[in-house]
Structure 1
């Protein structure tokens, strides 16, 4: 029982929403792990080691006890796409390592919530070996949820993301709108239009500083089921 979280772009709150998803599952009694194949834009600790910031945030918000070193196999300092960060810093992503670490988490935990890098069209490695984000989703055999900003432009961004994913054989189970303001006529229409034009449900709307998802744990567990246990 696992799910992959991607987004309509970078900096739309994908990690924040992922943390709330993990928190919801943990509070429902589901033994949940977090996984992100490659994370960029990280700071160093006092010993010079890179801290996977997204993983640290998810761990803090969700309350899971999973160790940081099992969450992200590839950690880069520069806030670039992983393919460029690894070209400069070394240690490019290897698919075998990603699959192996994910499989190990599947053995140890009931559910693994995986987070992508950037939007769906994200080069993870681009040298003699080409790995796109969609290749990782396919290799892990995971269904997906899309995080989108609730504001102006989200209809276009969400529909294009869904159509791209479908055309590349990826299963999308729903949409989560972030930065949502209930009662805002434009954002409520955005929600309506995203559902109508994609045929997908908006399963949750996340407001500023929300500490919980407005979705039942049972519904979320159902969405995460039947996927990803290699």
Structure 2
């Protein structure tokens, strides 16, 4: 059965998908049988009159993953809002049994699963008569540990510490923190040191801001994830899950 890690961001648009794509690339390029999983995605790309889950496409393209999208992202919503609201607007509520079935299928077929959340740890996936079901509930149901993706910029200490403490209060194990959009500066480095001191969690990698580095985003993610993740022994870290 596959080992797995769940990628959680301190906020939406923090770069979870880029980090996940980079991790997937590093694993698969070294011969590891790794797969991506995202239970629900809101907001899609329209390519040649076809609606495509953009995050899933990016990760698959970067890592050369050929698993059908419907197996790795069972719920895709066109509306770019929180999944629970998108599900209501599109009359397509999430069925947890389907999510568990897809995840179980991937666990049997692959050695590693890199799962990505929608938004932050408290992002609602389901809101019905039984109550609100958030990303944190899904992580617990799948029995996964997490890696937190945070930025190095202004506000990150507060966002990252609160995210870490909330996750710990849920009883979920945190393997470490990946800093995205990193730049070498006293300000960024001090933020990172303070996060380590307060959370007592390891910073396992620092990934530079990729979007402005290269017109070819896919190749840029591959190149810079190789530098960031191999240097921080990310493969060995994944094997210890």
Query: TM class, shorter-chain normalised?
Result: over 0.9
Equivalent residue for 2:120? 119
The aligned counterpart of 1:78 is 79
Cα drift, residue 226 of structure 1: 5.9
State the SS of the aligned residue for 1:200: coil
1:53-64 to 2 correspondences below 5 Å: 53-64=54-65
- Are the aligned partners of 1:121 and 1:133 in contact in 2 as well (CA < 8 Å)? yes
Match in the other structure for 1:20: 22
Instruction: Find the counterpart in structure 1 of residue 145 from structure 2.
Output: 143
Of 224, 228, 232, 1:212 maps to 224
| Maintained 8 Å contact 1:2/1:225 | no
In structure 2, how many angstroms separate the alpha carbons of the residues matched to 1:203 and 1:218? 6
1:46 CA displacement: 4.2
CA distance, structure 2, for counterparts of residue 111 and residue 159 of structure 1: 28
Distance in 2 separating the partners of 1:3 and 1:223: 11
Structure with the largest fraction of strand: 2
Tell me the SS of whatever aligns to 1:64: coil
Distance change in 2, residues 1:94/1:226 (3 Å): farther
* Separation in structure 1 between the aligned mates of residue 205 and residue 41 of structure 2, nearest angstrom: 25
Cα drift, residue 93 of structure 1? 1.3
* Offset, 1:92: 1.2
Q: Which residue of 2 aligns with 1:105?
A: 106
Residues 128-187 of structure 1 deviation map (CA, whole Å, 9 limit, x = unaligned): 2432111110111001000011101101100000000001111111001111002x1100
CA contact (8 A) 1:175 1:201 kept: yes
Structure 2's unaligned 5+ residue stretches are 211-220
Q: Aligned runs of 1:35-46 on 2, under 5 Å?
A: 35-46=37-48
Give the whole-Å Cα distance in 1 for the aligned partners of 2:207 and 2:232. 18
Quick one: structure 1 residues 222 and 93, their matched pair in 2 at CA, closer, same or farther if it must change by over 3 Å? farther
Map residues 85-100 of structure 1 onto 2, 5 A cutoff: 85-100=86-101
Structure 1, unpaired ranges of 5+: none
Label 1:43 to 1:218 Cα distance change in 2 as closer, same or farther (>3 A). Answer: closer
Q: Secondary structure at the match of 1:121?
A: coil
TM-score (norm 1): 0.92
Cα distance in 1 for residues equivalent to 2:209 and 2:14: 12
Tell me which of 176, 179, 182 is aligned to 1:180.
182
